[in-house]
C-alpha cells in the first residue's frame, strides 16, 4: 500500500503550536495575510521578522504529540511507500522520527539570502538583520513560502499522489492551494481519500470518508487500524 499524508497546522495544535485560522486570530490580532506575504514583508519587515523569530524560538518549548508519533510509526512499517507532505514549517514530524517529510511551505529553522540565494540552517533571530555568512549582505529572510510564491517539491508530490492507494489529510482547513487541491488529484488517480480534522472543512465532501476529532486520537486510531489489517492488504502495491 502506498500512502500520502498531507498535514496542516491542526496536527501541531495539541503540541501547543497555534493554527492560522483560529477564531482568536493568528498572532497579536493579525490575519495570516498580514504577516505571510511578500507585500507584508516589504511593508512591515520588522513585524514579519518578529512573527517568525517568536515562532522559531517557541520551537524549543514544544514537543511532537501522539499524531506525529503515530505517523512516524507507520513510516517504519511502510518505508518508502509512505510520504508525509506537510504545510507546517515546524520540525515536529522529524523530531517524532519521520524521515520521509516534504515541507512544501518551507522550514522555520532555515533562512534564505535574498541577495545571493543561499539557504542556511538557521536557529537565531533575524529581526536584527544578521549578515549572510556567504555574501555579507544583511538580506536574510525566513525560508518559508508566502502567498503568491511557489510551493516546494510539487513534482515529487504529484508523482506520489499519482501512485497513492490512500491519501489522508490531517489537521488542515483546506483553504490554501495547491495543498487544498491534492484530494482531487489523488482521487483522479484512483486513491481512496480520508480527512482527519477537528471539525468539518469546506472540502470535507471531496473525501471518501471524513472523521472529526483531535488529531492525536484520530491519527493514532487510524494507524492502529491500518497496521492491524492483514499484512497482505498493507503490502498491496499499485502497478
Ligand atoms: C485540528 C486541531 C486538532 C485545529 N486536531 N485538527 C487556486 C485558487 C485560488 C487561489 C489560489 C489558487 N492557487 C494558488 C492560489 C493563491 C494562494 C491561495 O491558496 N490563496 C487562498 C487564500 C485561496 N496560494 C498561494 O499563493 C501558494 N502559491 C502558489 O500556489 O503558487 C503559484 C500561484 C500563485 C498565485 C496564484 C496562482 C498560483 C502559496 C501558499 C503559501 C501559504 N503560506 C502559509 C504561510 C507559510 C509560512 C508560515 O507558516 O508562516 O502557509 S499561509 C498558512 O496557511 C500556512 C499554512 O501552511 C497554510 C494552511 O493552513 P492550515 O495548515 O490549513 O491551517 P488552518 O489554521 O487554516 O487550519 C487548521 C485546521 O486544523 C482547522 O480546520 C482546524 O479545525 C483544525 N484543527 N486543532 C485536528 N487538535
pLDDT in tens, 137-185: 999 999 999 999 999 999 999 999 999 999 999 999 999 999 999 999 9
Return d(Cα 65, Cα 67) in angstroms, integer.
Answer: 6
Q: Give distance in angstroms: CA of 75 to centre of ligand 1.
A: 25
pLDDT of residue 239: 43
Instruction: Based on the residue annotation, tell me whether 49 is a catalytic residue of this protein.
Output: no
Task: Tell whether the torsion through CA atoms of 106, 10, 49 and 126 is positive or negative.
Answer: negative
Q: Which of 225, 224, 234 is nearest to 70 (CA)?
A: 224
Q: Give distance in angstroms: CA of 186 to centre of ligand 1.
A: 18
Return d(Cα 142, Cα 165) in angstroms, integer.
Answer: 35
C-alpha to C-alpha distances, 18 to 13, 15, 23, 50, 179, nearest whole angstrom:
6, 9, 11, 16, 19
Return d(Cα 124, Cα 154) in angstroms, integer.
Answer: 29
Return d(Cα 197, Cα 21) in angstroms, integer.
Answer: 14
Q: What are the pLDDT digits (tens) for 58-85? A: 999 999 999 999 999 999 999 999 999 9
Q: Is the pLDDT of residue 233 over 90?
A: no
The better pLDDT of the pair 68, 230 is held by 68
Which 3-state string (H, E, C) describes 117-177? CCEEECCCCCCCCCCCCCCCCCCEEEEECCCCCCCCCHHHHHHHHHHCCEEEEECCCCCCC
Q: Which of 25, 24, 16, 51 is nearest to 37 (CA)?
A: 51
Q: In the numeric block, which cell numbers belong to residue 208? A: 471518501
pLDDT of residue 26: 76
Cβ–ligand 1 distance for 32 under 6 Å, the answer: yes
Mean pLDDT of the chain: 95
Mean pLDDT of 200-218: 98
Percent of the residues in the chain that have a pLDDT greater than 90, as a whole number? 90
Ligand 1 closest atom vs CA 89: 49
pLDDT band at 27 (very low <50, low <70, confident <90, very high): confident
Amino acid at each position: 500500500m502506498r500512502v500520502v499524508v498531507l498535514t496542516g497546522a491542526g496536527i501541531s495544535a495539541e503540541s501547543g503550536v497555534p493554527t492560522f485560522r483560529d477564531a482568536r486570530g493568528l498572532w497579536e490580532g493579525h490575519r495570516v495575510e498580514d504577516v505571510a506575504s511578500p507585500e507584508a514583508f516589504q511593508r512591515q519587515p520588522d513585524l514579519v521578522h518578529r512573527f517568525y523569530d517568536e515562532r522559531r524560538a517557541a520551537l524549543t518549548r514544544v514537543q511532537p504529540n501522539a499524531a506525529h508519533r503515530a505517523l512516524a510509526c507507520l513510516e517504519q512499517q511502510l518505508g518508502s511507500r509512505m510520504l508525509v507532505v506537510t504545510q507546517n514549517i515546524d520540525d515536529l514530524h522529524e523530531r517524532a522520527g519521520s524521515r520521509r517529510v516534504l515541507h512544501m511551505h518551507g522550514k522555520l529553522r532555515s533562512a534564505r539570502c535574498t541577495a545571493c540565494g543561499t539557504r542556511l540552517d538557521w536557529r537565531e533571530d533575524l529581526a536584527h538583520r544578521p549578515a549572510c555568512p556567504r555574501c555579507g549582505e544583511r538580506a536574510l529572510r525566513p525560508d518559508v513560502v508566502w502567498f503568491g510564491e511557489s510551493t516546494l517539491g510539487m513534482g515529487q508530490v504529484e508523482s506520489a499522489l499519482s501512485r497513492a492507494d490512500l491519501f489522508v489529510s490531517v489537521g488542515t482547513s483546506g483553504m490554501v492551494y495547491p495543498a487544498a487541491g491534492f484530494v482531487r488529484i489523488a482521487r483522479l488517480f484512483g486513491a481512496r481519500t480520508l480527512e482527519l480534522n477537528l471539525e468539518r472543512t469546506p472540502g470535507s465532501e471531496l473525501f471518501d470518508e471524513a472523521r472529526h476529532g483531535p488529531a492525536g486520537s484520530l491519527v493514532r486510531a487510524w494507524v492502529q487500524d491500518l497496521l492491524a489489517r492483514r499484512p497482505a492488504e498493507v503490502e498491496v502495491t499499485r502497478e
